[in-house]
Amino acid sequence: MIDTESAKPQRISHWQARSMVSAYVDRQVNWIWGRSDRAGVLANLRRAVNLTPGDAVSTWGIEFGTFPEKLLGQGDRPSKAESAVHAALTLYAIHQQSHHSTPMHHPGRSLAAAVRVLALQLSPDNRVPEQPPHRFTALATAGSQAELLNHARGLIRQLGTSKPPIPLDYGQLAADLYSIQYSSSAPGVRLRWAREFAFTPPAATSDHQDQRTDQPNGGK
């Protein structure tokens, strides 16, 4: 007799799924970096950047080999988790291109935090601008997943070619790319990005103000 209750797939929360997506991509990126043939693996992933999950046979093992079973899609379309993982791994491959000795995966640095570093590099007065660079603005306000990923590719290339290059946490990026596909959680992703890009600790703000007040007439 079949136990129908145990046969039913167990539902997991959005936050559990997000955590699983993040952990999987973190593990895969570290695995790729440790491989002797990583140049070929990364090249295969770059060739899959404009494809949907499953279309590039050469990346099946990298994308699906140890994929969390609870997040696998069930029909003819990729699940949101599969799409997020595919996007994160192919973006990582773009970012890592030409950087043979320096990993572009930096645990703990979100996409928004990486863009903040880029903005500081580009700022003539070493201050974070009120608005992020155009590509990040376009990514955050994209009207579709395809548009978002198009802007993400341009932004990742910019991070990779900056001097010095700016790495980021691809596990966290994958989690954000997963959450932003849901209308209920997308605002939360943008809110975290806003905080991570724009917030300046009070001490840093005070230091800047002190520099102004040290000038004659309060810097006027």
Find out whether 174 and 109 touch, Cβ atoms under 8 Å.
no
pLDDT given at position 140: 96
Q: Residues 105-126: pLDDT tens digits?
A: 999 999 999 999 999 999 988 8
Q: Residues 19-34: pLDDT tens digits?
A: 999 999 999 999 999 9
pLDDT given at position 30: 98
Count of CB atoms within 10 A of residue 126's CB? 8
Q: How far apart are CA 177 and CA 71, in angstroms?
A: 14
Q: Amino acid letter at 29?
A: V
Q: Residues 43-58: pLDDT tens digits?
A: 999 999 999 999 999 9
pLDDT given at position 125: 87
Q: How far apart are CA 91 and CA 151, in angstroms?
A: 11
Higher per-residue pLDDT: 1 or 197: 197
* DSSP reduced 3-state for 14: helix
pTM strictly above 0.85: yes
| Domain coordinates in residue numbering, the chain | 13-198
Average pLDDT of the chain to the nearest whole number: 90
pLDDT band at 204 (very low <50, low <70, confident <90, very high): low
Q: What are the structure tokens assigned to 166, written together? A: 């700016």
Which helix (H) or strand (E) is 134 found in, with range?
Answer: helix 134-140
pLDDT band at 216 (very low <50, low <70, confident <90, very high): very low
Which range, of 60-74, 144-158, 206-220, averages the lowest pLDDT?
206-220
Residue 135 has pLDDT above 80, yes or no: yes
Residue 168 has pLDDT above 70, yes or no: yes
Q: Residues 95-106: pLDDT tens digits?
A: 999 999 999 999
Cβ within 8 Å of residue 144, ≥6 positions away: none
> Is cis: bond before 201, omega within 30 of 0?
no
Alpha-carbon separation of residue 76 from 18, 52, 153 (angstroms)? 22, 12, 26
pLDDT given at position 200: 86
Which range, of 5-9, 66-70, 96-100, averages the lowest pLDDT?
5-9
Residue 7 has pLDDT above 50, yes or no: no
**Burial group, residue 21, by CB count within 10 angstroms (0-12, 13-18, 19+):** buried
What's the CATH class of domain 13-198?
Answer: mainly alpha
Looking up tokens 């993982």 gives: 85
Residue 4 has pLDDT above 50, yes or no: no
Buried-state track 59-75, b at ≥16 Cβ within 10 A, e below 16: beebbeeebbeebeeee
Count of CB atoms within 10 A of residue 166's CB? 23
